[in-house]
Amino acid sequence: MKSDTLSYPPRGLSREEAARYVGVGSTLFDDMVADGRMPRPKHVNSRAIWDRVALDIAFSALPDKENGLQQLLERSKREPTRR
């Protein structure tokens, strides 16, 4: 592959790169693809390639873990203030 003077992230990622991109190991990534939380790859000849943009969309759709600070703020709204 020819060297490129532009600096940009690759659009297509290998399985290992895709897993690393979303912050999980390859085995968990495979499970997430199988259950639909992550997209299936595109196929180019014999290679499986994940679209970085599709990974971004799937990652954004994952549920957020409840934020402890948000829980404290909500609890403080329900409880009367003590003085």
Whether pTM exceeds 0.85: no
Alpha-carbon distance 18 to 39, whole Å? 10
pLDDT in tens, 37-63: 999 999 999 999 999 999 999 999 988
Q: How far apart are CA 64 and CA 17, in angstroms?
A: 23
- Domain residue extents for the chain: 12-78
Mean pLDDT score of the chain: 87
Q: Are 49 and 15 in contact (CB under 8 A)?
A: no
Question: Would the CA dihedral through 9, 35, 61, 54 be positive or negative?
Answer: positive
Residue 43: strand, helix, or coil: strand
Which pLDDT does position 7 carry in this prediction?
A: 81
In whole angstroms, give the CA distance from residue 48 to residue 70. Answer: 40
pLDDT at 79 (0 to 100):
60
What is the pLDDT at residue 81?
A: 57
